[in-house]
Amino acid sequence: MIAQRLRDTRGRVRPYLVLALGIALIAAVVLPVIALGSSRVPQPVAFNHLKHTQDLGLGCEFCHPYARTRAHSGLPDVTTCSMCHTSPQGTSAEAARVTELITAGDLLRFNKLFRMPDHVFYTHRRHVAIAELSCETCHGDIAHTERPPVRALVKVDMDFCLDCHRKQGATLDCNACHR
């Protein structure tokens, strides 16, 4: 089909079609692969929020303990995972790898995916403990994801912050968020 169309009525290859096909191929296949590859934050294991929050019923603050008290919620490390994974859990290869890593003394250092630029001041304490916002408001349905997300599920930019601040009568002062 495609090979036929690339030739004109006299059977000669149509260069512009070959070129167009080439560009389409780059756009459709190569670019997304580059984009995914470069934006993926490396993590020691493929953590699964769905299994731990839904199946096992662990609360968010079990692993992100400072959400109510500090600016940063914090990420867990081997101390938290060791509560269960020093012995094998479940049957998946990834769970087995967690136990292997812990046994080998790996610290399971997770990397932040979601990061505000340095000029922005944001604190969880104010939003979670005082404004009583749910995690989903800003992080979407991360509780039902089975692999570390490649990008933030909710786009949290300045408009997103301002929209809510306007609706809830919170500050719109530049200096409150930029210090």
The interface with ligand HEC within residues 8-67 (CB under 6 A) comprises: 43, 45-49, 51-53, 55-56, 58, 60, 62-64, 67
Query: Which one of the spans 9-17, 20-28, 29-37, 141-149 is the region binding ligand HEC (CB under 6 A)?
Result: 141-149
One-character DSSP codes across the chain: -HHHHTB-TTS-B-HHHHHHHHHHHIIIIIHHHHHHHHHPPP-SS---HIIIIIIS---HHHHSTTTTTSSS-----HHHHHHHHTS--SS-HHHHHHHHHHHTT-------S----TT----HIIIIIIS---HHHHH-SGGG-SS--SS-SS---HHHHHHHHHHHT----HHHH--
101 belongs to the binding site for ligand HEC (CB under 6 A): no
| Window 160-179: residues binding ligand HEC (CB under 6 A) | 160-162, 164-165, 168, 170-174, 176-178
| Window 76-95: residues binding ligand HEC (CB under 6 A) | 76, 80-81, 83-85, 89-90, 92, 94-95
Handedness of CA 36, 42, 47, 49 (dihedral sign): negative
Please, what is the minimum distance in Å from the beta carbon of residue 113 to ligand HEC?
3
| Among 5, 40, 126, 166, interactor with ligand HEC by CB under 6 A | 126
**Cα–Cα dist 68/72, whole Å:** 9
125 belongs to the binding site for ligand HEC (CB under 6 A): no
Closer CB to ligand HEC, residue 11 or residue 59? 59
Closer CB to ligand HEC, residue 6 or residue 113? 113
Closer CB to ligand HEC, residue 17 or residue 74? 74
**Using CB atoms, what's the residue nearest to ligand HEC?**
90
104 belongs to the binding site for ligand HEC (CB under 6 A): no
Please, what is the minimum distance in Å from the beta carbon of residue 32 to ligand HEC?
21
- Yes or no: say if 77 and 47 are a contact pair by the CB < 8 Å rule: no
